[in-house]
């Protein structure tokens, strides 16, 4: 619940900036709120996936210590707003999120900005392989799920780099769900039971891949990734950092701990959680909490007295 309070605070503080066209202002307000609330949490956290270096404050930066310094030692991945452009434009699926795991267990892929990913539910385990053509993976997943290929839906970030991937998905007979931003929610929905997304595929941010793995381990789902450097310099920096290329990173390499938490609160409405709503004297938030050790998914709907949030 302490982690939920931090994502709730970030989401609420971002609300005045929804649809205002200023993504930096929205992110700054969310960062300030999240940092304040994380400072009260009973743990010794180090941000291993954040927004960059300290001199770029107010972002929560890589290497920053959060929490009150007591309690368990943890790795922290934070994104006060996953989807700042979505927030600024007033579009759906913006989230505030935190992932937590035991200290030293999260892969630090910060030197390589992108990775290719494929995510599905438990049916994908031992069935899907990121090295195989997407059509082959779609047919294999459809057989494992006992449904026609025509009913398979693959979530993909709407980017020019995915033009061929999208064509291949449709050529296989499956449908696409185009994501404007935020492939973390797309990956989680691919792994959750009862959603309309069966698979999430394509190239997205490396930090988001590690965050998604924290959630997937709680859902019992499937994730594979491969680092995708954009040039030789980035590849060399990755090699210098001990990262492996032409290598498939499974969930247990992305996050070695079996004790992971993933917490997200909706900023705007989306398929994972509802966005923040003002309802008379209260502000309502919806959050999702995933924990790998217990294999639980909890939804937290909270009403906050609006007067407590007035500046």
Binding residues for substrate: 82-84, 114, 159-161, 181-183, 205
Residue pair 227/207 in contact by the 8 Å Cβ criterion: no
d(CA 283, CA 281): 7
Binding residues for Mn(2+): 27, 51, 79, 82, 208
Residues ≥6 apart with Cβ < 8 Å to 74: 43, 44, 45, 46, 67, 100, 101, 102, 103
**Among all chains, which residue has been given the structure tokens 């965050």?**
211
Computed on alpha carbons and rounded to an integer, the radius of gyration of the chain in Å comes to 19
Is the peptide bond preceding residue 62 cis, with omega within 30 degrees of 0? no
- How many angstroms separate the CA atoms of 66 and 28, rounded? 17
Residues with Cβ within 8 Å of 29's Cβ and at least 6 positions away in sequence, in order, are 13, 14, 16, 17
Can you tell me the distance from the alpha carbon of 290 to that of 85, in angstroms, rounded to the nearest whole number?
A: 25
Closest listed residue to residue 61, CA positions, set 51, 76, 70: 51
Q: Distance between CA atoms of 277 and 266, rounded to whole angstroms? A: 10
Owner of token pair 């368990």: 72
Hunting for tokens 């025509």 — which residue is that?
Answer: 150
**Residues of the binding site:** 27, 51, 79, 82-84, 114, 159-161, 181-183, 205, 208
Residues 6+ apart with CB under 8 A from 146: none
Name the DSSP class of 263: E
Token match 């693959």: residue? 154
Other C-beta atoms within 10 Å of 306: how many?
14
């Amino acid at each position: 619940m302490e982690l939920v309070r931090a994502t709730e605070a970030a989401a609420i503080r971002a609300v005045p900036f929804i649809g205002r066209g200023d993504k930096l202002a929205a992110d700054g307000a969310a960062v300030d709120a999240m940092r304040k609330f994380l400072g009260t949490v009973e743990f010794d956290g180090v941000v291993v996936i954040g927004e960059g270096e300290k001199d770029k404050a107010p972002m929560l930066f890589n290497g920053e210590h959060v929490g009150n310094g007591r309690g368990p030692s943890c790795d922290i991945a934070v994104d006060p707003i996953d989807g700042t452009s979505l927030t600024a434009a007033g579009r759906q699926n913006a989230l505030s999120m935190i992932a937590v795991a035991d200290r030293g267990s999260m892969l630090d892929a910060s030197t390589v900005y992108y990775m290719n990913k494929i995510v599905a539910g438990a049916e994908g385990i031992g069935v899907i392989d990121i090295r195989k053509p997407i059509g082959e993976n779609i047919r294999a997943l459809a057989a494992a799920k006992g449904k026609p290929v025509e009913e398979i839906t693959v979530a993909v970030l709407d980017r020019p780099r995915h033009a061929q991937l999208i064509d291949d998905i449709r050529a296989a007979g499956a449908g696409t769900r185009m994501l404007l931003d935020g492939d973390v929610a797309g990956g989680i929905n691919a792994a959750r039971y009862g959603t309309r997304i069966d698979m999430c595929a394509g190239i997205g941010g490396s930090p988001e891949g590690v965050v998604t793995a924290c959630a997937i381990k709680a859902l019992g789902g499937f994730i594979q990734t491969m680092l995708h450097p954009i040039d030789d310099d980035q590849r060399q920096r990755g090699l210098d950092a001990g990262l492996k290329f032409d290598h498939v990173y499974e969930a247990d390499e992305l996050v070695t701990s079996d004790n992971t938490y993933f917490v997200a609160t909706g900023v705007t409405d989306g398929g994972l959680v509802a966005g923040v709503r003002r309802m008379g004297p209260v502000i309502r938030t919806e959050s999702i909490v995933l924990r790998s050790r217990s294999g639980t998914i909890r939804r937290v709907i909270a009403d906050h007295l609006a007067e407590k949030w007035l500046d």
